[in-house]
Chains A and B, each alone.
Chain A
Amino acid sequence: AQSVTQLDSQVPVFEEAPVELRCNYSSSVSVYLFWYVQYPNQGLQLLLKYLSGSTLVKGINGFEAEFNKSQTSFHLRKPSVHISDTAEYFCAVSESTDSWGKLQFGAGTQVVVTP
């Protein structure tokens, strides 16, 4: 069975500083990896996904993530954050080859950006 660990529950960061959100997963098979963002009292919005191919994945809003198979990690980065990046971020994994709806989510990382 797969599991996802987000190593930081909260990450404070200053505006225009870089941020890295860490995600590790465990699975016995090949996986598909996702990062979602959630603003207060809203649903989740897809930031980016890794399916195969290049291990560096670029997403929306300037985010990118790197898949590292040997370390079973999928860390999310942004070189310069804005106040509007304050939100909760979820890493998720799917083992399904025909449906990416059955996801195992991490517990989330709350990013708080201050001026």
Chain B
Amino acid sequence: DGGITQSPKYLFRKEGQNVTLSCEQNLNHDAMYWYRQDPGQGLRLIYYSQIVNDFQKGDIAEGYSVSREKKESFPLTVTSAQKNPTAFYLCASTIRNSPLHFGNGTRLTVT
């Protein structure tokens, strides 16, 4: 079955460490997205990529970095510069004129 795989489901890190969240899709979608979800705030766009080797900042890109070396993969690195990294991170993908398809998320806890 086609879909988006986010791993791991739960991730724990110490403050000051960088951490990379994995996102893989086998839907053959061109565009991929990272959203952050906090309680009572909905989802906010971090980064997105519409084509391999290209990506753009979303509304809250500070403290995050991404890469898009393959069509299927769009990893997100949460750096030590991100002041409030504890959140639920959702990866999504889409193709032209098609709604977003979401993965099941990674819950990151930084202490």
Contact = CB atoms under 8 A, between A and B. Distances in A.
B95 to A, nearest CB: 9
Interface in A84-115: 90, 92, 98-103, 105-108
Majority secondary structure of chain B interface residues (helix, strand, loop or mixed) = strand
- Does more than half of chain A's interface fall in helix, strand or loop, or is it mixed? loop
Contacts of B33: 101-102
Nearest to A4: B42
Interface of B: 4, 9, 31, 33, 35, 40-45, 48, 50, 58, 90, 92-94, 96-100, 102-105, 107
B96 A49 contact: no
A101 B104 contact: no
B88 to A, nearest CB: 8
A39 B48 CA distance: 24
B43 A98 contact: no
A42 B105 contact: yes
A108 B35 CA distance: 15
B43 A103 contact: yes
Contacts of B50: 99
